[in-house]
Amino acid sequence: MLSGWVYYKLKLVPHNKEKDGEVRIDLITWKMFIKAALKKYHGLFGEGIEYYFLNQQNDIAYLKVDFVDKEVLQTSVSSYISGEDLVGVPLTMEILQVTNSVTSLETNEDDKLWINKEIEE
């Protein structure tokens, strides 16, 4: 049986051309989106999935989840469309990258501090 962490690079996408560029997405919005997606598609089991934010900057976030919960997280967040209650416009999520190795995550120069910390752990 496989085990370990699976790492994600995710993007929350607002769907309103008039407010394009105006929507600010904070960590609470990210958590509420993921929690709602897990609950909608997997009920109590989905709500019990543990995931950890490595970093979040507006519409991009890096998460890690246990390998056994990978499919539950992926199916939930990629299928869910939020209402306008989170940021005033509907949101969807794009999965930009999935990897089993933190060292292969696609990051920017600004991300060196947190990525190096995660690699050390």
Rounded to two decimals, what is the model's pTM?
Answer: 0.89
Helices (H), 48-104: 70-79
Q: Provide the CA 42 distance to its chain's centre, in angstroms.
A: 16
For 47-59, the pLDDT digits (tens) are 899 999 999 999 9
First to last CA, the chain: 23
The encoded tokens of residue 69 equal 């919960």
| pLDDT less than 70: residues of the chain | 1-3, 17-21
* CATH code assigned at 55: 3.30.70.3250
Predicted confidence (pLDDT) per residue in 79-94, tens digit? 999 998 888 899 999 9
Residue type, 67: F
Question: Which segments of the chain are extended strands (E)?
Answer: 5-14, 51-57, 60-66, 91-99
**What pLDDT score was predicted for residue 86?**
85
Q: Which amino acid is at 114?
A: W
**Tally of domains in the chain:** 1
93: containing domain: 5-120
Q: What is the pLDDT of residue 88?
A: 85
Q: What is the distance between the alpha carbons of residues 36 and 31, in angstroms, rounded to a whole number?
A: 8
Best CA proximity match to 8, nearest among 39, 36, 30 = 30
